[in-house]
Structure 1
Amino acid sequence: MKRRSALSIFCMVIALSLVSAQLSVAAQISIEEGKDSPQLLTFSVPVMKANYPLYQSFLAEKGANPLGITNFSSLYSNRIVVDMVLLQQALALGGLDVKLQYYAVPNPARAIEDVKMGLSPVLGFETWKSDFDDRVFQSDEIIGDGEFLKVVVGRLNNSKYLMQAKSKTDLQKLSAVTGHRWRIDQKTLHEMGIVEIFSVSQYSLQLKMLQEGRVDFGMYEYTNIRKSMPEGLGIVPGITVGLRGTRHFMVSRLHPRGKDIFEALQRGIAILKSRGAFRSAYRECGFISPELDSWKRVFP
């Protein structure tokens, strides 16, 4: 009898867990009363915690309505903030009247997993093609192969080798550091022929290794590193590296409204691309920097 009772309790716990999981997904679709739309669908969408406050400050500066923003020049703007705004504009242009309610997660891996599990219908930013699997839809290309540019950063006093680098061959003689989860950066470094590559878990540790001279260079987004360049480090002038791979928006196949969102998103992306909206916004936020237009892309 004790065994039978224990089994019954176990089955009840499993059943309650399944119901709870279903309710958690359903709870992310809510009806919000509004003046313009009496039944506005609201979806919870993950973004990295570092970008969430920037997005809030950006909206406050631009007038709060993301659908009306056409200029992305701001101290609070970056590539992710642009994605968060243009994602909403694409859905609206695609004919889907919804509100995206962003929530903060620690890192991109967590955000991607939430979408793959169907806990959220769409990722709040574009991501690498290699992140996709059969649980998600892949949007049309947002950033092309080699278009995601990074600058080379190292110690300013490494003038004999690094700061004089002008080609891929020059960099092949040196050591590099990158993020443990930065798989595309790792792939790019390998394809460049860099032999000595250190992969570390924390961004701050990358910078510390560079400052201490334990490694020669790292690759970073120009706008981000320029705003917070650590003491003693600098950008190698005149060269950039294009990362190998394309980037796309990710939509969950497991979410109840995933297919509707994906179809609307595709229509909206096509309209935005025909207007040059992505490239214009990326240039205004600094992701595509006019300062780098004349620099030599040493790879690919």
Structure 2
Amino acid sequence: MSPKTFATRSTDKARFGIFVALSFTLCALAAFRSVPANATETVDIRFPVREAEFDAVLSCQNDNNPDCRSCLAYRPNSTSLVMYSILEKALQAGGLAARVEVVPSPNSERSRMMVSEGFADIKSDWDFNIDADPEALKSAPILRRGAVEKGIYVREDNLTLSDNKPISNVHNMSAVSIRTWRLDWDVLESLAPASLTSAATKQQMYAMINANRADFTLLEFSSTPAMVREVEGIRLYPVPGVKVTLPASQHFMISRHLPDADKIVGALNSGINALHANGFIHQCLTNSGIINEQVKDWRILNAAEDQMAPEKTTPSN
């Protein structure tokens, strides 16, 4: 064999070795790329929070101690922190490595628009609002239909009157609410009070009851022992023994503009179901006052309507 032939064969062997190594590397890279993003990368999720609660949620986001996201502490009126905690925990339980970052928003309507247009990624909302938006996907329910309960709130001096007459006579009482609180409005219409007036603001609603221009309204139960609600010094109290439920469910609204949105919804659904099963979601809702254990045995005034149409969805506030 000539030196030239030997050299040529050596070169060919070297080239073949390089080719094999390169092929192996490309296959490995292809296999790596084929792994779902949720197994290899941390996904950033932008979560809009209204300005009134933004600082509290941002502080928790930046806190290395996870206790503030555990829902173990009693934290009344911290709805945004509750939903932030459930979202983070659900993504984790669903097997998705995600970093939830809060972004400020002036109100719920603007937050909804931010998710729809892709300026934010996920927020909690009523089923009705999500179903109406073609740019949004819907998770499994966080708050199941009927889980949100409200009281019949009156002035303190009207509690005695309420105790002395059957609550079935609510149709002899006058009600006030805000028409854009559409779920509340629908429930009030179903109760058929003597009259139903729309107020422009929550402050005006309280003022009308305080001035005896209306007898009652629907409000979330406070987590205080007396369950009092107060606005600008006007205190309202729930009529004992009765409540209403809102005939809708709450879910996470996921922007279709979010990369791998369908995979994220799948992870969320798996996580939400797990958090319902292990009691984490109930713990969050109870410790925030969204679910009030003080009224769990109270009679539901609109129960018959809710039971007759369990799949009906109605607008909400």
- The 8 Å contact of residues 159 and 239 in structure 2, kept in 1 or not, is answered as no
Residue in 1 aligned with 2:267?
Answer: 264
Is 2:285 the counterpart of 1:285? no
What is the rounded CA distance, in whole Å, between the counterparts of 1:215 and 1:57 in structure 2? Answer: 41
* Cα deviation 1:65-119 (Å, max 9, x = unaligned): 4588434323456343211101011111212212111123222111111111222
Is 2:179 the counterpart of 1:177? no
* Cα deviation 1:155-191 (Å, max 9, x = unaligned): 1222464455643x32222222223421111111112
AA partner of residue 127 (structure 2): K
Q: CA RMSD in A?
A: 2.8
Task: Give the TM-score taking structure 1 as reference length.
Answer: 0.76
Task: Give the TM-score taking structure 2 as reference length.
Answer: 0.72
- The 8 Å contact of residues 48 and 105 in structure 1, kept in 2 or not, is answered as yes
| Residues 51, 119 of structure 1: alpha-carbon distance in 2 compared, 3 angstrom cutoff | same
- Aligned residue pairs, count: 259
Is 2:17 the counterpart of 1:53? no
Report the CA distance between 1:51 and its aligned residue.
Answer: 2.4
Q: 5+ unaligned residues in a row in structure 2: which ranges?
A: 1-38, 304-317
* Cα deviation 1:208-266 (Å, max 9, x = unaligned): 22222221111111127846524353221221111111221111113334323212211
Residue in 2 aligned with 1:204?
Answer: 203
| Residues 102, 164 of structure 1: alpha-carbon distance in 2 compared, 3 angstrom cutoff | farther
Is 2:302 the counterpart of 1:299? yes
Residue in 2 aligned with 1:78?
Answer: 78
Is 2:249 the counterpart of 1:246? yes
What is the rounded CA distance, in whole Å, between the counterparts of 1:232 and 1:131 in structure 2? Answer: 31
- The 8 Å contact of residues 45 and 101 in structure 2, kept in 1 or not, is answered as yes
| Residues 118, 165 of structure 1: alpha-carbon distance in 2 compared, 3 angstrom cutoff | farther
- The 8 Å contact of residues 187 and 244 in structure 1, kept in 2 or not, is answered as no
AA partner of residue 173 (structure 1): N
AA partner of residue 126 (structure 2): W
What is the rounded CA distance, in whole Å, between the counterparts of 1:92 and 1:201 in structure 2? Answer: 41
Q: Which has the higher helix share?
A: 2
- The 8 Å contact of residues 209 and 215 in structure 2, kept in 1 or not, is answered as yes
Q: Secondary structure at the match of 1:157?
A: helix
Residue in 2 aligned with 1:236?
Answer: 239
What is the rounded CA distance, in whole Å, between the counterparts of 1:104 and 1:197 in structure 2? Answer: 35
Q: Secondary structure at the match of 2:244?
A: strand
* Cα deviation 1:33-63 (Å, max 9, x = unaligned): xxxx996432322122222234346678xx6
| Residues 198, 72 of structure 1: alpha-carbon distance in 2 compared, 3 angstrom cutoff | farther
Residue in 1 aligned with 2:139?
Answer: 139
| Residues 166, 150 of structure 1: alpha-carbon distance in 2 compared, 3 angstrom cutoff | farther
Instruction: Pick from 13, 20, 41 the counterpart of residue 43 of structure 2.
Output: 41
Residue in 1 aligned with 2:127?
Answer: 129
AA partner of residue 153 (structure 1): Y
